[in-house]
Amino acid sequence: MTRPPTNQLGARWLLTAIAAGALAACSSLGSPFGDNAKAVDPNLFPTHYRDEILTTLRHTLDDPTNVRDAYLSEPVLSPVDKEQRYTSCVRYNARDLRRQYVGSKDRIAYYYGGHLNELVEATPEQCGNAAYKPFPELEKLCLGKKCK
């Protein structure tokens, strides 16, 4: 068996070294979602919480128009599982698909990184002591061509 000329061995070794170096550099960068991903502060204050709740309810209520008795509490840091997160409570009386009012409902909003993460039915313990304030924007929601 004949050996390749020395300059071919050197070129192969150089290409192998470059490839190994490139792989090592890529692995040191980590995953875009791993250690080097931009860290998000989970407890940033949700500055646009009113708008985010309105947008969510506009898309989730059976009839988001003519909501009555709408109230909202400002976000406060609350214990959620073993951590602290911003939460706020919203109370409203909306209509169903038959356009009949279904009664007052309380929902709790959970925020992560300054944005609404979840809006779910609240227990009396979660929102029973909330400092509600009128939420007239919810009572004025409209859809499609009815919007000003």
For residue 28, what is the enclosing H or E element? helix 6-29
pTM metric for this prediction: 0.71
pLDDT per residue as tens digits for the range 80-136? 999 999 999 999 999 999 999 999 999 999 999 999 999 999 999 999 999 999 999
What pLDDT score does 52 carry? 98
Neighbours of 104 (CB within 10 A): 13
Residue 143 pLDDT:
75
148: pLDDT strictly greater than 70: no
For position 39, what pLDDT does the model report?
A: 86
